[in-house]
Amino acid sequence: MSANKPAAGGAVTVNTLRKLRHAGEKFVCLTAYDASFAALLDATGVEVLLVGDSLGMVVQGRETTVPVTMDEMIYHSAAVARGRRRALLMVDMPFMSYATPQQALGNAARLMQEGGAHMVKLEGGAIQVETVRQLTARGIPVCAHLGLQPQSVHRLGGYRVQGRDEQAAQQMLQDAQALQAAGADVLLVESVPVVLAEQITRAVDIPVIGIGAGPACDGQVLVLYDMLGITPGHRPKFARDFMQGQTSVRAAVEAYVQAVKSGAFPAPEHCFE
């Protein structure tokens, strides 16, 4: 086993993700919303469990993530925390729970103390620099989220690919570097062209997680229910149903882990130009 990989039973930390990036080894992330799935994903080698505010859509049946509350995020985070053993637990800060740095501090503390989070994730570019600086200065690990930002879906006019024009692409690159400088530990980029995601990954030194952002990112994440092919309605272009050809949920998750680790996923058909 590589020295850069966590030992069996060893906890995955931010430092683990950094070492995997520097070793050129991909890491795996999936959303989780309860203890049972958390235990299964953890046992199959998923390094990062994301309690996403996507639960508003795939668990609660809402049209967007906007209605999800702090109390709901804490409830699901605590459930996942009870099921995991080694995976790093990342939790979304829900809509308007980090409108100011002071508000973000209070809510991030709740996610860690009550929800068992190891890291919080928040959406936004340059506007979040001071918030990221305040959180990380106080020992709260942060994942910054660029590209498609689901909490801003009403302003964006829908779930659209971001960064396709030169100005938007350059702004995203600058935002990524500014967020890293502010102390962000991890960066997540969603629904951006492959070339831009590669440029961002090369422009920063922190681990980059992609979703609909191509194979150059250091890690990949999918919504668990998309990966299992059970999300009602339209499945995003960047998702793949890993249950096809498998006889169990565990086998499907193992297939996803292997596909990410080997670089087989995402394939060109899951990417945006």
Neighbour tally for 111: CB within 10 Å: 28
Give the angle subtended at the CA of 146 by the CAs of 103 and 54, to the nearest 5°.
70
Q: Where are the beta strands (DSSP E) in the chain?
A: 27-31, 48-51, 88-92, 119-123, 142-147, 186-190, 208-211, 219-222
Catalytic residue set:
190
Residue written as tokens 């995003």?
Answer: 236
Burial class (CB in 10 A: 0-12, 13-18, 19+), 146: buried
- How far apart CA 232 and CA 1 sit, in angstroms, is 40
Closest C-alpha among 84, 43, 55, 91 to residue 257: 43
